[in-house]
Structure 1
Amino acid sequence: MANKLPTYFISHGGGPWPWVPQMREIFANLERSFVEMVDDLPQKPKAVLMISGHWEAEMVQVMASPQPPMVYDYGGFPAHTYSVVYPSPGAPEIAEKALNLLKDAEIAVELNVTQGYDHGTFVPMAIMYPQANVPLFQISLQASYDPATHLAMGRALAPLRDEGVLIVGSGLSYHNLRLFGPEAREPSDGFDAWLHDALMQEPDARTAAMIDWESAPYARVSHKQEDHLVPIFVALGAAEGEAATMIYHEKGLFGGVTASSYRFG
């Protein structure tokens, strides 16, 4: 019998940073946190389920390819970063289970056999499991970004944790590409402090606070579009009654950004 695995919300960094030496140096602490995530698990996962801020759809999609292709969803990086391959196998049988769990929760969902790994998925996985020896699949965000919908997705997917599936929401705790550098310090600090306080509350209050995230200080400065925040709702929903632990926290990225990651359970 597999041990129940925790869930995570991770800040995944910028673009294909592990393959750009100057960027890899910037994200050294983030890289260390990904390695520690794996070291802290009670067992090697049967599969990893990523919910990335880089894939959304009107109807929730479940990746079902046995060998997903690559999606280079970034621009302006060195040519070699567009030939990176992370060859982890897919997990079509577990994807089918995930599909049925979501259907049972009356969430509109369908399989997608063509979608590939986006950089919100293959970047952290390349650090976590560089041998690409853990089956991997993704589930999309629902394009409304509705917190309640994504919390419900997490609740529906929670039984996968008992089967050794590691559920990871991959985004960024601060994501305003137009406001980096020193100007990002105040809003990212302010929102990050609110996020930490919200997640440290008891479960009912935590869920209520997160649903009302737009009332947080600097909420819409930090997340003008919340695609990189919404993965946290799935991770939280899948471990809603369990404690949160900060596993990564850094100030001054790119001259001003504060970013954090969390474990649930």
Structure 2
Amino acid sequence: MPDNTQRQPTIFLPHGGGPCFFMDWTWGPADTWYATKRFLESVASMLPEKPKALLVISGHWEEPAFTASTSAKPPLIYDYSGFPAHTYQLTWPAPGDPALAVRAAELLRNAGLPSATDPTRGYDHGVFVPLKVAFPEAEIPVVTLSLAHSLDPALHMAAGRALAPLRDEGVLIIASGMSFHNLRAYFHPETADRARAFDTWLTSAVESPASERDDLLSHWREAPFAAFAHPREEHLIPLMVAAGAGGEAAGKRIFTDEPMGAKISAFRFDG
């Protein structure tokens, strides 16, 4: 490992609903997202050392190829609607890292994967909302990476494997999404048991040996209530990148809660 840098893990974290951590209430009681906020506040303390940079794969950015933002000063993208006016005034001025973005794109390209760069892309709410909680000082450089629009799980695990060397360079790879994401199902009586069944399967898959994990995650649609948990899978697919970059050791669940009546979880990979 260069310069005695400690290897960073990879983390899949829930980014909540819109700007939920910066409101008195959202879609339910005031404490709906308190547990998730407390988890995000603990992320930095879980790390072996302060990251030199963050590479964030957001469920809110899709492109034909994996695309890394080379912006040096990424703006915030307030890609949510119907929230209080103050949530469109949030700030989080973390710098970009153009050199890291170029390196990430090169790692992907060298692995035979489609890659590109974007000089203007900013931080969507899947990036700045959870990271404003986890890293409020906004001093660690951040590069955002899109999903590939195919949303193919095996392709995204391959992308994670290609990006894994960054972990030895002090880069924390964060996959930002939601392990359950069915906006029409929240607060419905049937949702709790279905979300728990999917979460149980997903946790078992993540915590399986890598060879089994990759096969299970590639076939996640066969899980119980998979289509109910994810009518469209863009919020789950970031997990595949985290798993692919996570090495050979089994992953582990590091957080779980049931906001709005649906179980969600966060996962960590240290292999």
TM-score range, shorter chain: over 0.9
Cα deviation code 1:149-208 (max 9, x no counterpart): 100100000000000000011000000011111332122111001001111211111111
Matched, 1:176 2:176: no
Q: For residues 219 and 262 of structure 1, what CA distance do their matches in structure 2 show?
A: 18
Q: Which amino acid aligns with 1:21?
A: D
Cα deviation code 1:21-79 (max 9, x no counterpart): 22473211111211222101111100011101000011221011000011111111001
Name the residue aligned to 2:267. Answer: 262
Secondary structure at the counterpart of residue 18 of structure 2:
coil
Matched, 1:235 2:242: yes
Secondary structure at the counterpart of residue 156 of structure 2:
helix
Secondary structure at the counterpart of residue 67 of structure 1:
coil
Matched, 1:110 2:116: yes
Indicate if the aligned counterparts of 2:74 and 2:121 stay in contact, CA closer than 8 A.
yes
Name the residue aligned to 1:36. Answer: 42
Q: How is 1:90-169 mapped onto 2 (pairs within 5 angstroms)?
A: 90-169=96-175
More deviation in 219-228 or 32-41?
32-41
Q: How is 1:190-209 mapped onto 2 (pairs within 5 angstroms)?
A: 190-209=197-216
Q: For residues 243 and 36 of structure 1, what CA distance do their matches in structure 2 show?
A: 22
**TM-score, length-scaled by structure 2:** 0.95
Deviation of the 1:248 alpha carbon = 0.8
Q: How is 1:15-26 mapped onto 2 (pairs within 5 angstroms)?
A: 15-23=18-26, 25-26=31-32
Deviation of the 1:247 alpha carbon = 1.1
Consecutive unaligned residues in structure 2, runs of 5 or more: none
Matched, 1:71 2:77: yes
Secondary structure at the counterpart of residue 207 of structure 1:
helix
Q: For residues 39 and 113 of structure 1, what CA distance do their matches in structure 2 show?
A: 32
Cα deviation code 1:93-121 (max 9, x no counterpart): 11111111011011111110111101111
Percent identical: 43
Q: For residues 100 and 149 of structure 1, what CA distance do their matches in structure 2 show?
A: 16
Secondary structure at the counterpart of residue 210 of structure 1:
helix
Q: For residues 104 and 201 of structure 1, what CA distance do their matches in structure 2 show?
A: 29
Task: Give the count of matched residue pairs.
Answer: 263
Q: For residues 3 and 80 of structure 1, what CA distance do their matches in structure 2 show?
A: 39
Deviation of the 1:217 alpha carbon = 0.2
Q: Which amino acid aligns with 1:136?
A: V
Q: Which amino acid aligns with 2:197?
A: G
Matched, 1:3 2:6: yes
Consecutive unaligned residues in structure 1, runs of 5 or more: none
Matched, 1:245 2:252: yes
Indicate if the aligned counterparts of 2:66 and 2:146 stay in contact, CA closer than 8 A.
yes
Q: For residues 123 and 224 of structure 1, what CA distance do their matches in structure 2 show?
A: 23
Q: For residues 104 and 129 of structure 2, what CA distance do their matches in structure 1 show?
A: 23
Q: Which amino acid aligns with 1:83?
A: Q
Secondary structure at the counterpart of residue 192 of structure 2:
helix
Query: Which one of 84, 97, 100 corresponds to residue 90 of structure 2?
Result: 84
Indicate if the aligned counterparts of 2:195 and 2:262 stay in contact, CA closer than 8 A.
yes
Query: Which one of 13, 17, 34 corresponds to residue 14 of structure 1?
Result: 17
Deviation of the 1:122 alpha carbon = 0.4
